[in-house]
Every structure is written in structure tokens, then in C-alpha cells.
Amino acid sequence: MLAATATVAPPNLAPAMLSWADVLPYRGDLLRYARRKLMDPSLAEDLVHDVFEAVATGRAAFGGRSALRTWLVGILKHKIVDLVRERAAHEPLADTNDDGFPSTAGLVSEQPGPDEQVACRQRLDQALARLESLTPGVRQAFELRVLQERSTEEVCSTLAISEDNLFVRLHRARRALAA
């Protein structure tokens, strides 16, 4: 969801009335949106620039049927989709080695190795030890709500506590377990 900090342009703006002063306040919103979708700040800058270029050259004309911000985000969405499609068309289907045969580099086992299994077991043992060190009320609330996945209402009625108290206990448990 984009931040609602920018002002909304009047819906009756005609394409000829659109100026940089109308469009520029939305640059931050467009950048945040593009960065969140692309995870690449420089690529996000490029696409927002492309949006402004399309508006400036007249390739995109604002008809006033929506808010200006909505229209600009729509253009940006289309630019992002075009970029993804273009990149997908250029990605190789399979890696090949020097002999021209498919590479086996991508054939890696999904199962963790022995060292990873030992590390996982140690983390689990530590977490269980921390769970046992919690006070009985906090531990019960955590076990019922998180480990047994019972509903908030069910846990509150079982422990005879309020929802606020449950949330406090869960917060304390998570804080103690994360330490």
C-alpha cells in the first residue's frame, strides 16, 4: 500500500493541463512502490524515470477518470510487468558446461547436510530449554496458542484470562525465546 502523504490531483485535469508540478509530488510514492516490488533501488529509479518520460512525451495521457496517483502507479505496474517479461525471455533454459552438456551445478540436494542437522538440533535444544525456563502461565499461553495453534478465544477461556493478558504473555514468551 502506498503512503497517502501526497496530495490527490483534481479528477478534472485534462492531459494538456498536466505539468511537472502536478506529477513530481508522486515521485517518492512511486519509488517506494517500485523498490518494494523490485528489490533493486537503481532499477526502481530507472522505471520511475520511464514513467515520467512516458508522461512528458505524451505516450501516456491522463484522462482524469481516476486519481493522478492511481494512474501513475498503473503505468509503473505495467513497466514492472514489461521488465519481468523481458528478463524472462532472456534467461537461459539450462546451464551448460564447456562440453555443451547440461551442467550438474544446479542439482543440489534439498536435504540439509550433517553439519546443518547438528546445528538445527542444537538450536532446537536451546529453544526447548528456554521454553522450560518460562514461568508456568507464560509457557502455557505460548504452548496453547503457538505450538498447538488454538484460537485466541479458546486459549483465553482455557486459562481464564483476557485477550490483553494473553497478548502480554505471548509477547513475554517470544522476547524470552528470542534472547
Q: Grid coordinates standing for 59?
A: 505516450
pLDDT of residue 60: 75
The ranges of the chain annotated as CATH 1.10.10.10 are 128-178
The ranges of the chain annotated as CATH 1.10.1740.10 are 15-90
Count of H-run helices and E-run strands, the chain: 8, 0
Selected from 3.30.1280.10, 1.10.1740.10, 1.10.10.10, 1.10.600.10, the CATH number assigned to the domain covering 15-90 reads: 1.10.1740.10
Of the candidates 168, 133, 2, the one whose C-alpha atom is nearest the C-alpha of residue 74 is 2
- Dihedral of the CA atoms 56, 57, 61, 64 (nearest 10)? 20
Q: Grid coordinates standing for 51?
A: 514513467
Tell me, what amino acid is at 98?
D
Count the neighbouring beta carbons within 10 Å of the beta carbon of residue 123. Answer: 10
pLDDT of residue 155: 93
Between CA 131 and CA 173 the distance in angstroms is 8
pLDDT of residue 88: 80
One digit per residue, pLDDT tens: the chain, 179 residues? Answer: 444 444 444 444 444 467 778 888 999 999 999 999 988 888 999 999 998 888 888 777 888 888 889 999 999 999 999 988 888 877 665 555 666 555 555 555 677 788 888 898 998 888 888 889 999 999 999 999 988 999 999 999 999 999 999 999 999 998 888 87
Q: What is the pTM of this model?
A: 0.44
Specify the CATH number of the domain 128-178: 1.10.10.10
pLDDT of residue 11: 47
Between CA 157 and CA 154 the distance in angstroms is 5
